[in-house]
Amino acid sequence: MKKLKVYEILSCIFLCLILLVSCAEIQAPFQTEDQTFRTPIPESTLKAYQAGTPIANKLQAVIAARVLLSTSRLENIQPPEVIYVQRMTLAEATKKAAKPGVENFEDIPSETPVWFVVFKGNWQLHPPSPGITATPPAPYKGCQYVWIAEANNGYAATGDINCTIE
């Protein structure tokens, strides 16, 4: 009789454990939005990008910024590392990218929402026009910023930036 009670108690504990485990929230190893922008972006995704689509999150901002950089004379030798992505106003973005006298955005309201993205990588600057035989400068390591209007309406800028972004 005593053995039967022990089995009943053990069975009850076992059933309680099963119920407890099945009711507990299981944490899946999914990446959150704050991490997905750090994953490598396939070339097919960059090629499929549709300019003009409003930017709603960090991953979309990184994709738009990578595409914008690919249209410049600056080539990333390897896929760059994303070290900073933040939504802010144009005033905040121009302050972060501060190069006095270089950028002038008087035709855009300073409170315009933009995405500010910083990439770290190895870069190669190409001559300004096809057919020019000038020797390009040596590749260099460093960081490039891109700010792009959240509305993705053509307002954007790129440039060099210190890699210790705050």
| Mean pLDDT score of the chain | 78
Question: What is the pTM assigned to this prediction?
Answer: 0.72
Q: Check residue 26 and give its pLDDT.
A: 44
Q: Which residue segment(s) compose the domain that 53 sits in?
A: 33-161
Query: Alpha-carbon distance 145 to 103, whole Å?
Result: 13
Neighbours of 148 (CB within 10 A): 25
C-beta of residue 118 within 8 angstroms of C-beta of residue 161? yes
4 inside domain: no
140 inside domain: yes
10 inside domain: no
Q: For residues 73-87, give the mean pLDDT.
A: 90
> Under 8 Å CB-to-CB from 128, ≥6 apart: which residues?
73
75 inside domain: yes
Q: Check residue 2 and give its pLDDT.
A: 56
43 inside domain: yes
DSSP structure class, residue 39: S
Q: Which of 41-45, 77-81, 120-124 has the lowest mean pLDDT?
A: 41-45
Domain count of the fold of the chain: 1
User: Is residue 84 over pLDDT 90?
Assistant: yes
Query: Alpha-carbon distance 123 to 38, whole Å?
Result: 19
User: Is residue 24 over pLDDT 60?
Assistant: no
Instruction: Convert the pLDDT of each residue in 149-161 to its tens digit.
Output: 999 888 898 888 9
25 inside domain: no
57 inside domain: yes
The token pair that represents 24 in the structure block: 């507990």
133 inside domain: yes
Q: At residue 135, what are phi and psi to the nearest 5 degrees?
A: -75, 125
DSSP structure class, residue 46: H
Q: Check residue 89 and give its pLDDT.
A: 95
C-beta of residue 137 within 8 angstroms of C-beta of residue 73? no
Q: Check residue 132 and give its pLDDT.
A: 66
